[in-house]
Amino acid sequence: MHGKTVLVTGGTAGIGKETARGLARLGADVILVGRDPDRAKNAADELSREAAGEVMALPADLSDLAGLRRLAEQVAGRYDRLDVLVNNAGGVYPERRLTRDGVEATFAVNVLAPYALTCLLLPLLRSADRARVVNLTGGLPDGAIDPDNLQGEKTFLGWTFTQYNHTKTALMAMSHRFASLLGEEVTVNVAYPGHASTPGNRAIPMRAFPYLYRPVAPLVRLLGPLLLSDLTRAARSSIHLASSPEVEGVTGAYVDARTRRASWPTGALDARGQEAVWALCERLSGLSPA
Tally helices (H) and strands (E) across the chain.
Answer: 12, 7
Q: For residues 88 and 23, what is the distance between their CA atoms, to the nearest angstrom?
A: 14
Alpha-carbon distance 245 to 254, whole Å?
A: 16
> CB under 8 Å to 266, separation ≥6 — which residues?
142, 144
187 beta partners? 132
User: Environment class of residue 76 by beta-carbon count within 10 Å: exposed (0-12), middle (13-18) or buried (19+)?
Assistant: middle
Whether the CB-CB separation of 46 and 68 falls below 8 Å is answered with no
Of 249, 250, 271, the closest CA to residue 261 belongs to: 250
Contact between 28 and 6 under an 8 Å Cβ cutoff? The reply is: yes
Q: What gap in Å lies between CA 2 and CA 88, rounded to an integer?
A: 21
**How many Å separate Cα 1 from the centre of its chain?**
20
Helix (H, G, I), strand (E, B) or coil at 148: coil
Q: For the chain, what is the largest distance between any 2 Cα atoms, rounded to a whole number of angstroms? A: 51
164 tagged catalytic: yes
- Measured CA to CA, the distance from residue 75 to residue 168 in angstroms comes to 26
Candidate list 164, 192, 211, 213, residue with the active-site label: 164
What is the spatial distance between Cα 135 and Cα 238, in angstroms, rounded to a whole number?
8
- Count Cα neighbours of 138 within 13 Å in the Cβ-side half-sphere: 26
Residue numbers annotated as active site = 164
